[in-house]
């Protein structure tokens, strides 16, 4: 019996791979973004090597764009030079969006792929049935030179999600619940596989949230079995044939069950994604609300926020910043009139990018300020000053809180 992850790594390594084995797996896709391009290039130079498969490299400018200062401008320039020097054709420059959104949108992630990238939230792409992990610049250089990389095959924990989602409860609430149950190291160097009846009615925008924030539970990667929802999303996007793998019954090392029917809107309070409380019990005043990031800037998030904000105004003294996670999402939100509603409510719309998620720009917090965000991390100083505080929640909870000027359960105004 094998898990989907074991099967993918068996195919990629050409050997029978089981949890705990060390394997060298062929890489199908390499992702490099602007903060790491220069470091990867330096490592290649120091190794006297060059990319074996430049056609498999995808470069994305997303963290510090548009450039906020000379240093970030130089990083963007170095990534452009990297692509030019090594013949990397898949370069998504300023404005395309966040790597974890751009890769699937542009067909660079196919079921069964082994994907590595210079960002910790690479497991996001596991929602498409891939084995996708984050690595550092030195490892990336080695993988580029050799065309493969070594992995210890992780055990897989099955997370069964059953029941029916209550009103104003979303994938963000599910993953916050899971992290609160097992802690930030509960899945350390393991894969999380999401399954259960709720997946049958969960669209891709929501599935990506589950795999994205699995990292916050310590997971090496995360995966969702490929089904009709996956294939419908991929139709017309894929650049190569899918090779989906499925776990055999009884192959998982552990199983966690969550009845989503019992959930309510949740909030992770400072300074850990595992510090989770019902939104109705938090009641903290806020200075800023952020809807965006690779976790919470998809079309579904903008739609939900617009539904709450239609005909309402953001509380005076509160800054609502909305950053679509990609150009495609931005354009579709414009076509549907979502952006109009958000702006009329008092929101500021930013260019597709990571924005303030990592405290870089487009909404950095000052000393003592409080923000509620759809992003994935609320560590001390994550979005700005070390004495600022960040709460994590769904787009619904963030939008409702922006209207009220304090953190509220979105059901009170929805």
Q: Which residues are annotated as a binding site for [4Fe-4S] cluster?
A: 294, 354, 357
Binding-site residue positions: 294, 354, 357
The token pair at 312 is: 């309402």
Element spanning 92, H or E: strand 90-92
Q: How far apart are CA 344 and CA 141, in angstroms?
A: 47
- Count of other CB atoms within 10 angstroms of residue 164: 11
The token pair at 289 is: 């609300």
The torsion angles phi and psi of 346, rounded to 5 degrees, stand at 115, 5
User: Please, are residues 221 and 152 in contact by the beta-carbon 8 Å criterion?
Assistant: no
Residues 6+ apart with CB under 8 A from 15: 23
The token pair at 257 is: 């069950």
User: Please, are residues 11 and 52 in contact by the beta-carbon 8 Å criterion?
Assistant: no
CA neighbor of 320 nearest in space, from 335, 302, 334: 302
Element spanning 259, H or E: strand 254-259
Q: What is the Cα 6 distance to its own chain's centre?
A: 23
CA neighbor of 36 nearest in space, from 66, 69, 78: 78
User: Please, are residues 211 and 178 in contact by the beta-carbon 8 Å criterion?
Assistant: no
User: Please, are residues 37 and 184 in contact by the beta-carbon 8 Å criterion?
Assistant: no
């Amino acid at each position: 019996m094998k898990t989907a992850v074991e099967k993918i790594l068996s195919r990629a390594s050409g050997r029978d791979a089981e949890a705990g084995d060390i394997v060298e797996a062929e890489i199908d896709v390499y992702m490099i973004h602007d903060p790491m391009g220069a470091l990867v290039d330096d490592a290649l130079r120091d190794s006297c090597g060059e990319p074996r498969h430049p056609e498999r490299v995808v470069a994305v400018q997303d963290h510090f764009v548009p450039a906020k200062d000379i240093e970030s401008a130089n990083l963007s320039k170095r990534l452009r030079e990297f692509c030019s020097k090594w013949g990397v054709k898949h370069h998504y420059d300023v404005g395309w969006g966040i790597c974890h959104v751009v890769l699937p949108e542009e067909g660079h992630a196919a079921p069964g792929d082994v994907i590595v990238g210079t960002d910790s939230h690479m497991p996001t792409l596991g929602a498409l049935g891939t084995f996708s992990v984050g690595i550092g610049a030195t490892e990336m250089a080695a993988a580029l030179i050799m065309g493969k990389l070594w992995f210890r095959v992780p055990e897989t924990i099955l997370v069964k999600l059953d029941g029916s989602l209550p009103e104003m409860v979303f994938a963000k609430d599910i993953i916050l619940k899971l992290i609160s149950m097992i802690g930030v190291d509960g899945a350390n160097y393991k894969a999380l596989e999401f399954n259960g009846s709720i997946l049958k009615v969960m669209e891709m925008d929501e599935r990506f949230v589950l795999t994205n924030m699995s990292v916050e539970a310590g997971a090496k990667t995360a995966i969702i079995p490929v089904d009709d929802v996956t294939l419908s999303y991929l139709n017309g996007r894929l650049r190569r044939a899918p090779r989906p793998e499925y776990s055999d019954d009884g192959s998982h090392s552990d199983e966690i069950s969550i009845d989503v029917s019992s959930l309510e809107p949740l909030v992770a309070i400072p300074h850990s994604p595992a510090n989770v409380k019902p939104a109705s019990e938090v009641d903290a005043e806020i200075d800023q609300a952020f809807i965006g990031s690779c976790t919470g800037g998809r079309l579904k998030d903008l739609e939900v926020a617009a539904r709450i904000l239609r005909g309402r105004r953001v509380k005076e003294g509160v800054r609502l910043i909305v950053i679509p996670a990609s150009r495609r999402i931005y354009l579709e939100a414009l076509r549907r009139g979502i952006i109009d509603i958000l702006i009329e409510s008092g929101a500021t719309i930013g260019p597709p990018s990571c924005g303030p998620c990592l405290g870089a720009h487009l909404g950095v917090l000052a000393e003592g300020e409080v923000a509620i965000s759809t992003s994935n991390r609320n560590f001390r100083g994550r979005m700005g000053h070390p004495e600022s505080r960040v709460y994590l929640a769904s787009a619904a909870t963030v939008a409702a809180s922006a209207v009220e000027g304090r953190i509220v359960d979105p059901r009170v105004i929805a």
